[in-house]
Chains A and B, each alone.
Chain A
Amino acid sequence: MNGIPPWSEAIPPVSMFVECDGARHELRWEAGRLVPSAHPDVDAEHALAALGGEAPVCLRLRANWEAYASEPALITLGRRPGEAGLGFALDVNPTTLVPVTRRPTTVGERREALVALLSLPAPFIDRLVLGAMASAVDRWSDADFRERHGLRIGAALAARATPALRRLGSSLAAADETVVVHCEPSEDARVRARRSVRGLEVTAALPVAWLVRVWGPGFSEPSGQFVLDTRGREVDVVEWVGDAAVGWEGVRRRGALELDGEGATVVRFV
């Protein structure tokens, strides 16, 4: 353990109800997992299903969730900054859910399983996507994974960070100056800026973990500060050092996240 709390600690639980076995059952997301509250002994019910019994809808949804919890395509599908809720909002059709006893194998099964998951309420979709991001963080050190999915994830990281980086750059730019942002994944976070013929250019290298530790919980810009990293309530924000002649380097300033009197998250500096 490196002392950094799990990403899911910063994400509040959510719950919903589904029609299951003729009743309304609660499905709850907490601590990174989908929990079928009405089915306390999941293993026993799975064993029954393996013997030929029909698995309940809750368990089938959970099995489909687990099957796709690390799917990189979800990172492309998920929400971008400022985007309203998304999802198919279709009624879950139990007959299209893949049985709990095996993973989806065909393209058709994969589609049906994803349509079912992406028909859940938007807060569940957001958490499904965050789970896929967290899985990508775990696998980022694997060269084969980066070879296959690195460009997708790099673009997705840039898309999530760019609006906040543009606002960060705007603090240095003249009123009508264009702010150009370049962002790529890196082991170490670094943000720089310089003035060029294209305008004010901000170049950021961010760890993929920024997606789950900063963007996912909604900590990208508390009180207008760009957050590079979090450790629980502790955050590192960027402060510009330098000038137009030599360019600017974003240095870390440590602070703590707190709620202000109106319930908004702000950074307090020690």
Chain B
Amino acid sequence: MSDRRAEAHLWLLLEEALVDVRDPRAETWEIWRNFRAVVDALVAIDALVPELGEAFVGELDDAMALRGLVPVTAFGAAPWPEPDLLVAPGRPPGNDAGRIWLEAEIERHLDLFVSFDSETQAWAARDMLRILGGPVRAFEAVGGEPVSGLLGDLAATLAAAGVDPGREVPGEAVARREWVQFLRDRPAPIPDPHVPDERRRPRVRLGGKVTGPVVRVDLLAWSEDAIEMAVGVRTSPDLVGVDDRTPWHARVLDDRGHLHLGQTASLRPGDAALVFQLRPGLVIGVTRIDVRLTRGGWRVEGSIAT
């Protein structure tokens, strides 16, 4: 018996979206984006095959087009996928894939968030919590480990950093020290071009609990403004079901407790290395960094001496 909980959740979510679009105050694109965010998250943790994810987005496009909410050109009318695709091949529910994905996704949002000015931040904080709320409910609906506590921690972090999260912070939520610091520091954009002051070739293999590609940090270069990190990736045939389009996230925590975040990178066919740029850079006196790379619900990490 295949696990169809992700599919069941998305059908109900699609019906909810079609109710929501009738609210005259609703923004069609926002409803579409929130639905897409849930689809992508379920695909990223292997709870849904990518083809089915696209089919669901197509169904919403079609229904919105028929209601005049998006142009008729968005009406694709693709037939529903063949039955063999209805079986999600991925991980058994109840693992920590949702938590891994969510933690990386929160940090991706935090990196974007610090670029907003303080006028925009209250709106952006509410938006961030709303966008992430969809996948959190979806993960719990498909039987994954409960992750809503992590969203509570994000709300507590925002409040501790002086940003109104727009909702009540749960009593058990804990502000994460490194997130609060990152929000308070608001690191400047990475200079272009970035000229590093230091370079190392650590060639440290990152390890994880789950079988996946062999990931090695080959190059580290940094200044006080940014860190550049080149990561060699040798994919393994065991990495079944991970969508090639799923981006990689990198984060670095230095031994002084400072977090360094960057935007995502994707491994294109034929690529053997990923290059990340993270901000801020490293200050004099940092002797060790913890590197974590996340892709969907899969994660590797390791420590590197600088």
Residues of A within 8 A of B (CB): 72-73, 76-77, 80, 82-83, 86-88, 90, 107, 110-111, 114-115, 118, 144, 147-149, 151-152, 154-156, 158-159
Given A80-B15, A90-B72, A107-B77, 16 extra CB contacts under 8 A: A76-B62, A80-B18, A82-B22, A86-B67, A87-B66, A107-B78, A107-B79, A111-B77, A114-B77, A147-B83, A148-B80, A148-B86, A151-B11, A154-B8, A154-B11, A159-B15
> Are A76 and B72 touching (Cβ within 8 A)?
no
Ordered by A's residue number, 30 sampled pairs between the chains whose C-beta atoms are within 8 Å are: A72-B80, A73-B80, A76-B63, A77-B62, A77-B63, A77-B66, A80-B15, A80-B19, A86-B66, A88-B66, A88-B72, A107-B76, A107-B77, A107-B79, A111-B75, A111-B76, A114-B77, A115-B72, A115-B75, A147-B86, A148-B80, A148-B83, A151-B7, A152-B11, A155-B8, A156-B11, A156-B15, A159-B15, A159-B18, A159-B19
Give chain B nearest CB distance to A93 CB in angstroms.
Answer: 12
- Give chain B residues whose Cβ lies under 8 Å from the Cβ of A115: 72, 75, 77
Q: In the complex, which of the residues B59, B63, B68, B77 contacts A110, with contact meaning CB atoms closer than 8 Å?
A: B77
- Give chain A residues whose Cβ lies under 8 Å from the Cβ of B78: 107
- Give chain B residues whose Cβ lies under 8 Å from the Cβ of A111: 75-77
- Give chain A residues whose Cβ lies under 8 Å from the Cβ of B75: 88, 111, 114-115
**A-contacting residues, B51-85, CB 8 Å:** 59, 62-63, 65-68, 72, 75-80, 83
**A-contacting residues, B3-43, CB 8 Å:** 4, 7-8, 11-12, 14-15, 18-19, 22
Give chain B nearest CB distance to A68 CB in angstroms.
Answer: 10
Size bracket of the B interface:
20 to 34
Give chain B nearest CB distance to A135 CB in angstroms.
Answer: 15
Consensus secondary structure, chain A interface: helix
Give chain B nearest CB distance to A134 CB in angstroms.
Answer: 19
- Give chain B residues whose Cβ lies under 8 Å from the Cβ of A77: 62-63, 66
| A72-B55 Cα distance, complex, nearest whole Å | 14
